[in-house]
Amino acid sequence: MPKILIKKAKILKENDKEIILEKPASYLVRDISKDFHCKEGVILKKEFKKKDGAKVKTNTNKEFTLISADFMDLYKKMKRSAQIISLKDVGVIVAYTGVNKNSRVVDAGAGSGGLSCFLAHICKEVTTYEIRDDFYDVVNENKKKLGLKNLNIKKQDVLKGISERCVDLITLDLPDPWNAFDVVSKALKTGGYLVSYSPTIIQVADFVNKLSDDFIHLQTLELIKREWEVKGRKVRPITTQNVHTGFLSFCRKIV
């Protein structure tokens, strides 16, 4: 099992000021059968046999805490080619559609597999469609690294048809999602959810205005996340942030 190495920052406090003596560090160790090399030194492979929470040291006497990597540790390190849907948007999709261990999902297009991989972690079965060879290869690589046996990857154009039926959720990350209404309607169960992710509001308008009679538009939203810096008495929003990611349009099949 992969491991995580975590080193806390060392801070000196003098006269209400904080001086960082040593910056924090974190490493994902995928292969624990070998010695691990990093800029703080080398950690011998025998150290990875210790229990979670154990303290291990490099050959330069830098101390780390050892814990087992979980899904999120591996997910954050997944390979990216196309920009993935952010975790804040993934979370809204999961919360607003209620997908769970019994859900069957179709996702198109896959990109780097950020959304499809996360959904496969919590759902019964996920099928993702992708037409680009390079993206298809990246999703396959991420699937293997995350151990997602219930993720099916198809190198096909979703606009030409979806073979899955009685699906609980379909997600679209396409430049022209309104062209998918016919194939989506055939695959989605009555009461199932259709969610479209678009980077521009013009795409949202075209999608909602062209929505077929098989669906009702529930809502379109943009989730804004603002991170804060907390260092002693210095507490303020981080100055440089990527606030806008995209718009999510939620629809439901009613026939």
Can you name the CATH fold of 3-69?
Vcp-like ATPase; Chain A, domain 2 (3.10.330)
pLDDT of residue 151: 98
Render pLDDT for 190-205 as a digit per residue (tens, 0 to 9): 999 999 999 999 999 9
Domain ranges for the chain: 3-69, 74-253
pLDDT of residue 59: 96
Beta bridge partners of 29: 3
pLDDT of residue 23: 85
In the chain, DSSP assigns E strands to: 3-7, 10-14, 17-22, 25-29, 36-38, 41-43, 55-57, 63-68, 104-108, 125-129, 151-154, 167-172, 188-198, 215-221, 228-231, 234-237, 247-253
Render pLDDT for 127-184 as a digit per residue (tens, 0 to 9): 999 999 999 999 999 999 999 999 999 999 999 999 999 999 999 999 999 999 999 9
Distance CA 126, CA 75 (A): 16
Instruction: Report which of 62, 30, 57 is spatially closest to residue 44, judged by C-alpha positions.
Output: 57
CA distances from 30 to 36, 57, 150, 184, 243 (A): 10, 18, 22, 38, 32
pLDDT of residue 141: 97
pLDDT of residue 110: 95
Which parts of the chain sit beneath pLDDT 50? none
pLDDT of residue 234: 82
pLDDT of residue 113: 96
Instruction: Report which of 108, 121, 178, 128 is spatially closest to residue 147, judged by C-alpha positions.
Output: 121
Q: What is the CATH class of 74-253?
A: alpha beta
Specify the long-range contacts of residues 65-72, CB closer than 8 Å, at least 24 apart.
65/5, 65/6, 65/7, 65/8, 66/3, 66/4, 66/5, 67/3, 67/4, 67/6, 68/1, 68/2, 68/3, 68/4, 69/1, 69/2, 69/3, 69/4, 69/28, 69/29, 71/121, 71/146
In this structure, which amino acid lies at residue 105? V
Share of the chain above pLDDT 70, in %: 100
pLDDT of residue 68: 97
pLDDT of residue 133: 95
